[in-house]
Homo-oligomer: A and B are copies of this chain.
Amino acid sequence: MNDDLLERYKDILSSKNYKLTSQRNSILQVLIENKNRHFSADELYKEVAKVNPDVGLATIYRNLEIFCRLGITHRLDFDNKYKYYELSVEGNHHHHLICVKCGNIIEFNDQVLEDFENEIEDFYDFKIIDHRIKFYGICEECRKEK
């Protein structure tokens, strides 16, 4: 299953004439092994280094940019100074609950929102192709503390 994914991404790259370098392979590998995790560029850099130390940070950035453009990954903005990236795996669409106390981020899936989206599309004449939702609040742990 993971191998299938890897092959699919490699196909996408080849079909767009991007070379299959060992660096790209390692980056994809790490992303796939952590399907439901999001990485800052630096976090990914360090994680990739464990598998393949010959990958520079600039290469991470350059490839994340390409991967996002090809739809392999997408970028997330939380409210800190980093940008985060995660694999765009279908059936893994999820959003984030951000605790304003401890900063912890909980992921959750949603199948709802379809009706809501349709309403908006009609009203604003805007064809929606994706959405990101962030809920801010206080997590279970932090509510216990006080």
Chain A interfacial residues counted at CB < 8 A: 36
The CA-CA distance from A75 to B80 in the complex, in Å, is 10
Instruction: Tell me how many chains of this kind the complex includes.
Output: 2
Chain B positions within 8 Å of A131 at CB level? 133-136
Is A16 engaged at the interface, CB distance under 8 Å to the other chain?
A: no
**Contact assessment for A120 and B97 in the assembled complex, using a CB-CB cutoff below 8 Å:** yes
Is A137 engaged at the interface, CB distance under 8 Å to the other chain?
A: yes
The CA-CA distance from A123 to B100 in the complex, in Å, is 19
Chain B positions within 8 Å of A133 at CB level? 131-134
CB-based nearest B residue for A77: B77
The CA-CA distance from A132 to B78 in the complex, in Å, is 11
Is A1 engaged at the interface, CB distance under 8 Å to the other chain?
A: no
**Contact assessment for B126 and A139 in the assembled complex, using a CB-CB cutoff below 8 Å:** yes
Is A128 engaged at the interface, CB distance under 8 Å to the other chain?
A: yes
**Contact assessment for B126 and A138 in the assembled complex, using a CB-CB cutoff below 8 Å:** yes
**Contact assessment for A129 and B124 in the assembled complex, using a CB-CB cutoff below 8 Å:** no
Which of A2-10, A18-26, A38-46, A109-117 participates in binding chain B?
A: A109-117
The CA-CA distance from A63 to B113 in the complex, in Å, is 36
- Give the contacting residue for A124; candidates B79, B108, B116, B123; CB below 8 A: B108
Binary contact track A25-63/B, C-beta < 8 Å → 1, others 0: 000000000000000000000000000000000000000
